[in-house]
């Protein structure tokens, strides 16, 4: 039998070859590295299967399907054996020559599953497999078995040919099933299996097992998978399996006096006959010679189960400036690998060291995202580490891990603190930008290098998580909150309820029930470029969620406390009202029966509201302070002149405003590497000028939408605001959050919390932002934002 025939997979059979991209193996061929049962679960990774086959090569391989069924039945933890039996039972009356063979095979697998856990681990498991398949039916010859392994070592990619499924035949099914059916006849009970194994090797009873330090473990798929699937934690999550596979830090501590240490110390001159130690295996030392002289037979001593010492495990993560970037990703991956180790059942506390000592939690994805963004402005953490030991944690029963960049431990202050507290600082883990991890242990005052790991970062980070790129709204999502104002001004809406001029300042009552303040400017930069903005600037929000009905006439004023007061006159209902926009205090007055002419209008003049008509006398004065009241007063020409002047100024804002994009159907990047909003692309117009034009290119990258938040695969986000501002938050922390107006016509601007570039229309009146050229702002922020998304995963 050749290698392809032995490893051949089949259509509608119980197993198949799969690829786990997160677990490359040493052969360099990383595809088809996992054997899985469809809709049931994994059996084993290919490297593990190959190690098992190496142990069986001298006696010859059993049929591959038979071996896989036995390996699955011997797994610890939850097993879906019913799912496996479904695949076997479906072969009855179709492919199998004898239906009873399938029943016998199923019974054998059930017996294997009921064996004690001690028989399913380590060397006992190998001995069990060798015992079962030693004289099994349908074995491959030892010569062909060695040849199969040799071919695989030279050409591991040959497995790809076997992974292409062929049509299932009765020969294949009967070969696998018959082997197990005959084994059931040979070993009809679990006791018969154990008895056969005892004749093969000495088996320790479960109560006598010694917990050993493990170097390979089962992964915590649930939490680690969540980290891998979240773009913001993908880099951390993808490292944990690799760290686990080689981690040599003990997860339990055994009492020193009870730990088996091997050699002569584990020998005795009293014991059972089957535990007698033959002289050729004894150590040639003084104790052995002495016992030989005295005719003392030596026996293997049954070791005393070790007791577990309880230590409080604490992990300290350096968050100084030098531990930023890749070293910090490695630090958090190392911390989570220790905390979430399946054998680490004791509680573990985590602290971030910087200017202060901050307790953190790494129990869910959101907490990992939050703590990854934490950085301290200090260069090294010796002060915080010294404070930790001298002030906050003076107790001795501590097992402290310090995780830091390898460049930091060169600092003399940090070296001093580590040396002075080496009795409690048990482990030191150093990280580096190239993926190197070094583990050190302090023991009896000296530092010992335990192990070195070289993580292939480029390989592990090659396949980032793929989110569903669908333009669909989440039904259960919550709208992302937006701030009241931004570093730049909002575009002024065309649709509005009313425009006011109060004490030289312009206000707009928008259709969205907001009070906006806007500006006029005669000092805009370049009229040849910004002519379309005229002399108006954008606006800022003063009051939101105003409780009014958009009907009638309005006037605006301020009371003595500086609160905004809005008066409303509904002529058809003969209803006068006013509301304090800050305190929400409301009062109204019914004017029925007061015989107020229809041509009277509501206006503001000299700290009072008026119902006024140019040629009428008297007119009615309305108070701003206190409870609403109406007073008949003499008309004055100055009131009308002031109103004409105000109307003239307001006319300068008449019909001004911008077409605001607020219905966001999609956000992405097109093939010209331009940012896309709905059907528009952010285009270069002329030097230092950008605007949103009709998109004519194919979209290359599309963000997924959840309410008003759009998220790209790399984790970068765009938050939309229906009032006309977009917030850009890159997953690259070197790109600060920046903002851009979303308007269809007119030229645009970009702003951060410190810088501004583009149309002066969006520059606040008393802004302290540093003004830069728009081309520079676009290159530093928007272009960098786009490039980081496009380069993600390449």
Where is mean pLDDT largest: 314-323, 414-423, 691-700? 691-700
Residue 753 pLDDT: 92
Q: Is the pLDDT of residue 595 over 70?
A: yes
pLDDT bucket at 136, cuts 50 / 70 / 90:
confident
d(CA 404, CA 408): 7
Same domain, 583 and 454: no
Q: What is the pLDDT of residues 548-566, one digit of tens each?
A: 888 899 999 999 999 999 9
| 426 located within any domain | yes
Distance CA(214)–CA(68), nearest Å, equals 24
Query: Residue 389 sits in a domain of what CATH number?
Result: 3.40.50
How far from 674 is each of 291, 510, 671, 789, CA to CA, in Å?
A: 85, 32, 7, 12
Helix (H, G, I), strand (E, B) or coil at 619: strand
Domain boundary among 141, 174, 209: 209
Q: Are residues 609 and 562 in the same domain?
A: yes
pLDDT band at 786 (very low <50, low <70, confident <90, very high): very high
Q: Say whether both 281 and 369 belong to one domain.
A: no
Verify that 647 and 501 share a domain, yes or no: yes
pLDDT score of 135? 79
Q: Each residue of 494-543: pLDDT tens digit?
A: 888 999 999 888 999 998 889 999 887 654 344 444 444 456 788 999 99
Please give the pLDDT value at position 787: 92
Cα–Cα distance measured from residue 228 to residue 220, given in angstroms and rounded to the nearest whole number: 12
223 is a domain residue: no
pLDDT band at 271 (very low <50, low <70, confident <90, very high): low
User: Does residue 327 surpass a pLDDT of 60?
Assistant: yes
pLDDT confidence of residue 152 = 87
Residue with more model confidence, 78 or 684:
684
User: 614 and 737 share a domain?
Assistant: no
Mean pLDDT along residues 84-105: 75
- Lowest-confidence range among 126-130, 142-146, 293-297, 728-732? 293-297
Domain assignment of residue 240, yes or no: no
Q: Is the pLDDT of residue 89 over 90?
A: no
- Domain termination site, one of 272, 302, 332: 302
Q: Are residues 295 and 331 in the same domain?
A: no
pTM of the model: 0.44
Question: pLDDT band at residue 305, thresholds of 50, 70 and 90?
Answer: very low
pLDDT of residue 655: 62
Is residue 432's pLDDT more than 50? Answer: yes
pLDDT at 280 over 50: no
Do 139 and 83 lie in a common domain? yes
Give the residue from 460, 477, 505 where a domain finishes: 460
| Per-residue pLDDT band at 346 (split at 50, 70, 90) | low
User: Please, which residues bridge with residue 575 across strands?
Assistant: 570, 590
pLDDT tens digits, one per residue of 14-37:
889 888 776 667 777 888 888 888
User: H helices within 231-308, ranges in order?
Assistant: 234-246, 286-293
- Per the CB < 8 A criterion, the answer to whether 565 and 557 are in contact is yes
Which of the listed ranges 132-141, 403-412, 442-451, 616-625 does the model predict with the highest average pLDDT? 616-625
Does residue 765 form part of some domain? yes
Domain for residue 452, yes or no?
A: yes
**One domain, residues 625 and 688:** no
Among 99-103, 389-393, 619-623, the range with the most confident prediction by mean pLDDT is: 619-623
Sheet (strand 699-702) strand order: 689-694, 680-686, 675-677, 667-670, 699-702
Q: Do 287 and 375 belong to one domain?
A: no
pLDDT of 675 = 95
Number of domains in the chain: 5
* Domain that includes residue 523, residue range: 496-651
Share of the chain above pLDDT 90, in %: 20
Would you say residue 50 has pLDDT above 70?
Answer: yes
Residues 518 and 642 in one domain: yes
What is the chain's mean pLDDT, rounded?
81
pLDDT score, position 43:
87
Which pair of tokens denotes residue 739? 């903002």
In this prediction, residue 140 carries a pLDDT of 87
Element (H, E) at 129: helix 122-133
Q: Are residues 671 and 562 in the same domain?
A: no
Residue 397: what pLDDT? 65
Q: Is residue 759 in some structural domain?
A: yes
Q: Say if 518 falls within a structural domain.
A: yes
| Residue 248 in domain | no
Structure tokens at 605: 């003049």
* 273 and 410 in a common domain: no
Residues 6+ apart with CB under 8 A from 149: 50, 53, 54, 57
**How far, in Å, CA of 458 to CA of 594, rounded?**
83
């Amino acid at each position: 039998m050749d290698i392809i025939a032995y490893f051949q997979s089949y259509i509608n059979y119980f197993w198949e070859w799969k690829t786990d991209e997160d677990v490359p193996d040493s052969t360099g061929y990383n595809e088809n590295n996992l054997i899985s049962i469809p809709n049931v679960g994994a059996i084993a990774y290919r490297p593990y299967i190959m190690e098992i086959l190496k142990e069986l090569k001298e006696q010859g391989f059993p049929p591959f399907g038979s071996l896989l069924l036995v390996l699955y039945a011997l797994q610890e933890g939850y097993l879906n054996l019913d799912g496996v039996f479904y695949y076997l039972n479906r072969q009855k009356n179709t492919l199998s020559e004898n239906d009873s063979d399938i029943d016998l095979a199923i019974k054998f697998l059930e017996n294997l599953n009921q064996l004690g856990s001690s028989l399913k681990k380590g060397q006992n498991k190998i001995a069990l497999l060798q015992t079962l398949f030693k004289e099994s039916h349908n074995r491959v010859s030892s010569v062909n078995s060695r040849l199969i392994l040799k071919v695989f070592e030279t050409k591991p990619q040959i497995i790809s040919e076997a992974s292409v499924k062929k049509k299932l035949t009765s020969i294949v099914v009967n070969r696998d099933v018959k082997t197990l059916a005959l084994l059931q006849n040979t070993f009809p009970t679990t006791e018969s299996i154990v008895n056969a194994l005892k004749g093969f090797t000495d088996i320790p009873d479960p109560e006598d097992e010694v917990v050993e330090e493990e170097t390979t473990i089962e992964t915590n798929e649930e939490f680690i998978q969540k980290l891998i699937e979240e773009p913001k934690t993908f880099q951390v999550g993808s490292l944990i399996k690799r760290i686990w596979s080689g981690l040599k830090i003990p997860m339990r501590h055994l009492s020193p006096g009870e730990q088996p240490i091997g050699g002569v110390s584990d020998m005795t001159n009293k014991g059972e006959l089957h535990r007698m130690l033959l002289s050729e295996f004894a150590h040639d030392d003084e104790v052995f010679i002495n016992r030989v002289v005295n005719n003392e037979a030596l026996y293997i001593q049954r070791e005393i189960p070790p007791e577990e010492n309880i230590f409080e495990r604490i992990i300290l993560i350096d968050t100084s400036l030098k531990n930023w970037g890749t070293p910090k990703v490695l630090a958090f991956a190392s911390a989570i690998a220790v905390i979430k180790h399946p054998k680490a059942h004791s509680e573990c506390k985590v602290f971030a060291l910087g200017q202060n000592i901050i307790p953190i939690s790494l129990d869910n994805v959101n907490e990992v995202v939050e703590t990854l963004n934490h950085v301290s402005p200090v260069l090294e953490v010796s002060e915080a580490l010294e404070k930790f030991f001298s002030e906050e944690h003076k107790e001795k029963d501590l097992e402290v891990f310090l995780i830091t960049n390898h460049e930091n431990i060169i600092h003399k202050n940090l070296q001093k603190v580590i040396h002075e507290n080496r009795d409690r600082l048990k482990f030191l883990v150093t990280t580096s930008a190239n993926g190197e991890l070094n583990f050190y242990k302090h023991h009896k005052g000296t530092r010992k290098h335990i192990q070195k790991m070289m993580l292939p970062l480029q390989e592990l980070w090659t396949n980032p998580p793929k989110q569903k790129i669908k333009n669909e709204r989440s039904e259960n999502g919550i709208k992302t909150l937006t701030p009241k104002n931004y570093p730049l001004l909002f575009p002024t809406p065309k649709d509005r309820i009313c425009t006011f001029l109060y004490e030289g300042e312009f206000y707009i009552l928008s259709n969205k029930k907001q009070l906006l303040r806007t500006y006029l400017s005669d000092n805009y930069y370049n009229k040849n470029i910004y002519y379309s903005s005229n002399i108006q600037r954008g606006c800022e929000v003063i009051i939101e969620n105003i409780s009014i009905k958009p009907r009638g006439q309005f006037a605006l004023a301020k009371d003595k406390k500086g609160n905004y007061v809005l008066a409303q006159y509904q002529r058809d209902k003969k209803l006068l009202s006013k509301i304090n926009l800050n305190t929400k205090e409301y009062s109204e007055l019914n004017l029925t029966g007061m015989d107020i002419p229809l041509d009277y209008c509501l206006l503001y003049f000299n700290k009072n509201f008026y119902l006024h008509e140019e040629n009428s006398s008297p007119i009615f004065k309305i108070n701003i302070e206190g409870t609403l009241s109406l007073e008949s007063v003499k008309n004055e020409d100055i009131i009308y002149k002031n109103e004409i002047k105000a109307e003239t100024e307001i006319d300068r804002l008449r019909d001004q405003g911008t077409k605001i994009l607020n219905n966001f159907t999609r956000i992405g990047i097109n093939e010209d590497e331009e940012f896309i909003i709905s059907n528009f692309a952010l285009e270069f117009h002329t030097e230092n000028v950008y605007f949103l034009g009709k998109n004519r290119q194919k979209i290359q990258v599309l963000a997924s939408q959840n309410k008003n938040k759009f998220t790209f695969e790399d984790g970068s986000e765009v938050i939309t605001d229906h009032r006309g501002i977009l917030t850009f938050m890159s997953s690259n922390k070197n790109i600060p959050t920046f903002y851009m107006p979303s308007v269809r016509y007119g030229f645009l601007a970009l702003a951060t919390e410190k810088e501004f570039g583009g149309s002066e229309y969006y520059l606040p009146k008393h802004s302290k932002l540093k003004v830069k050229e728009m081309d520079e702002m676009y290159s530093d922020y928007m272009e960098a934002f786009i490039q980081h998304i496009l380069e993600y995963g390449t």
